[in-house]
Structure 1
């Protein structure tokens, strides 16, 4: 438990910065995004890495992962295992419809100086005052909400599991998340605290970056209604990312709120 706690603390410090600003990317990749049959399962890899979908840095902490079924009920991963570089778990798709698999992290980050040394702290509002020494100088506190998702449909797609929480950055489908094809434009809507997120940059990167000399990013900007469209150059798994910051913090000590969103979407051949 201590090992995983330390890894999550390190990951949280990485995610305190907008995802597009550094090499490490957090992702979850399901073995399939469309399934059918009497008793379907999918296996999900979850990691933080330099090269997309190639685990080489650290695993995702599975206590942050939640699975929302088509009826809106939530559950935890099954048959879970966390290794040195990635976590792996199963999802039993017992219902017809679309499942949302999400890893969400929220909390406070602080930097300060004590006895001439720079220190960092991560935690929640309840512990902020008692865990940062009274004599600390140059204290800077920020709040973060980081969300990473992927989606799997059993049979016919549905929308109940996709209902936004109204907190942080979230992605809504105009084009179905699990009905994407190369050469066909797809439209989505980005929300910020449940309202359209206008003027935000969204980046799409195809996986297997380990085998390319360039990221080959596709960048678009959301409209006034928070909507944006992407054209997929080829089939494969894509990582979609957006980030922003503002001063709409939930506690007075935090002067800045940092938000990020990432999703893995599968694009099939036509």
Structure 2
């Protein structure tokens, strides 16, 4: 593989949770439900072959966003990136539910230079106009919006941090994401740009796939309201993923927008 292609492939693997990838991106908190005064959680972030096992590359957390129970943004602490994972701590100073996520919204481009060599670029919508040549030959442009999330509650849960932004593919919990129990039914809703994402395929996989021969994935589809229901077969950490594509780009040169969503959810024993 040429160096430029290697870089492009690595960037995609680090940033996007699309189903076309063999690897899975995820965030895993040390705990999802806590009590006590000013507790902390440690979060692992990785892209791996097995859930939740570090064996590929760390997840990039440049666009990490942590929303506190009152809707404010808090900073991660003690962040470090190693060979196979990124790790950071979150101090839970407030009582309630935190949303922890990596949110990527960027533009990609490829074109031919004067020598016929393929050039590749990735950046923001703001930098596209200045960094991509206006006279680029055979220009191909795409836009990607993705989220990799998890949820943590200290004390009593609340829903302020769960409110969707209205941009891209988002999970809107009907059942609280930190109130999940084995054998019980949970309901969620997917939205795209604030509207119901109907007929969307959703895949759910229990962790520890390294230690079993089958993925044992659960596959469901959203209804006309964008909602779906899942009954958790057993306790443990679960990986949830959905993807979509449309032409609702905000860059006129881009003809396609790719949307991806991943969540790590903990299901507790009854």
TM-score (norm 2): 0.92
Q: Is the 8 A contact 1:16 1:258 kept in 2?
A: no
Unaligned runs of 5+ in 2: 1-5
Residue 177 of structure 1 pairs with residue 177 of structure 2: yes
Secondary structure of residue in 2 paired with 1:172: strand
Q: Is the 8 A contact 2:248 2:257 kept in 1?
A: yes
Residue 69 of structure 1 pairs with residue 91 of structure 2: no
CA distance in 2, matches of 1:135, 1:98: 49
Corresponding position of 1:199 = 199
Corresponding position of 1:234 = 234
Once the two structures are TM-superposed, the CA of residue 135 in structure 1 deviates from its matched residue by: 5.6
TM-score (norm 1): 0.92
Once the two structures are TM-superposed, the CA of residue 125 in structure 1 deviates from its matched residue by: 2.6
Once the two structures are TM-superposed, the CA of residue 52 in structure 1 deviates from its matched residue by: 1.5
Secondary structure of residue in 1 paired with 2:62: helix
Once the two structures are TM-superposed, the CA of residue 133 in structure 1 deviates from its matched residue by: 4.2
User: After the TM superposition, which of the residue ranges 59-68 and 21-30 deviates more from structure 2?
Assistant: 59-68
Corresponding position of 1:87 = 86
Q: Any residues of structure 2 matched to 1:88-237 within 5 Å, and which?
A: 88-114=87-113, 115-133=115-133, 136-237=136-237
CA distance in 2, matches of 1:208, 1:120: 36
User: After the TM superposition, which of the residue ranges 125-134 and 223-232 deviates more from structure 2?
Assistant: 125-134
Secondary structure of residue in 2 paired with 1:21: coil
TM-aligned CA distance change 1:116 to 1:104, over 3 Å: same
Q: Is the 8 A contact 1:18 1:259 kept in 2?
A: no
Q: Is the 8 A contact 2:110 2:139 kept in 1?
A: yes
How many residue pairs get aligned? The number is 264
CA distance in 2, matches of 1:269, 1:153: 17
CA offsets 1:149-195 (integer angstroms, 9 cap, x no match): 10001111100011111000111111110011111111100011111
Corresponding position of 1:56 = 55
Unaligned runs of 5+ in 1: 1-6
CA distance in 1, matches of 2:172, 2:132: 38
CA offsets 1:80-128 (integer angstroms, 9 cap, x no match): 1111111111111111110000101110011223333333211123333
